[in-house]
Amino acid sequence: MPELPDIVVYIEALCQRVLGQEVRDVRIVSPSVLRTYAPPFDAPVGSTVTDIHRVGKRIVFEFLRDSGEGRQLFLVIHLMVAGRLRWEDPGKAIPKKIGLAAIDFDAGSLILTEQGTRKRAGIWLVEDWSGVAALDRGGVEPLEVTVDEFATALRAENRTLKRALTDPRIFSGIGNAFSDEILWRAQMSPVKRTAQVSDVEAGQLHEAVVESLTDWTQRLRDDVGDEWPKRVTAFRPDMAVHGKYGEPCPRCDSPVQRIVYASNETNYCATCQTGGKLLADRSLSRLLKDDWPKSIEDLEEA
Q: Beta strands 264-268 and 257-261: pairing type?
A: antiparallel
pLDDT at 287 over 70: no
Q: Please, what is the angle between helix 4-18 and helix 199-224, to 10°?
A: 40
Q: What is the DSSP letter of 243?
A: T
The mean pLDDT of 18-33, rounded to a whole number, is: 96
Span 191-214, average pLDDT: 97
Instruction: Quote the pLDDT of residue 66.
Output: 72
HSE (CB half, 13 Å, CA atoms) of 272?
Answer: 24
- Residue 277: its pLDDT value, please? 86
What pLDDT is recorded for position 273?
96
Burial 198-218 (b: 16+ CB within 10 A, else e): eeebbbbbbebbbebbeebbe
Put the strands of the sheet holding 83-88 in their side by side order.
25-28, 99-104, 109-114, 83-88
CA 290, CA 284: separation in Å to the nearest integer?
10
The domain locations on the chain are 4-133, 147-301
Q: Give the pLDDT score at 16.
A: 97
As a whole number of angstroms, the distance between CA 156 and CA 187 comes to 22
What integer is the mean pLDDT of 181-186?
98
Per-residue confidence (pLDDT) for residue 71, from 0 to 100: 82
pLDDT of residue 284: 54
What is the per-residue pLDDT across 228-239, written as a single tens digit (0 to 9) for each? 999 888 889 999
Mean pLDDT rounded to a whole number for the chain: 91
Quick one: pLDDT at residue 68? Answer: 54
Instruction: Specify whether the CB–CB gap between 224 and 180 falls below 8 A.
Output: no
255/261 Cα distance (integer angstroms): 20
Is 258 in contact with 191 (CB distance < 8 Å)? no
| Better-scored residue on pLDDT, 234 or 271 | 271
Query: What 8-state DSSP symbol labels residue 178?
Result: H
Cα–Cα distance for residue pair 14/96, rounded to 1 Å: 23
- pLDDT band for 281, please (50, 70, 90 cuts): low
Task: Say if residue 86's pLDDT is above 90.
Answer: yes
Read off the pLDDT of each residue in 254-282 and give the average, rounded to a whole number: 85
Q: What CATH number labels 147-301?
A: 1.10.8.50
d(C-alpha 216, C-alpha 227), whole Å: 17
Of the candidates 52, 112, 117, the residue with the CA atom closest to the CA atom of residue 232: 112
Report which residue type is found at 59.
I
The reply to whether CATH 3.40.309.10 applies to domain 4-133 is no
pLDDT digits (tens, 9 = 90+) for 123-163: 999 999 999 999 998 999 999 999 999 999 999 999 999 99
Kindly state the percentage of the chain with pLDDT values over 70.
Answer: 90
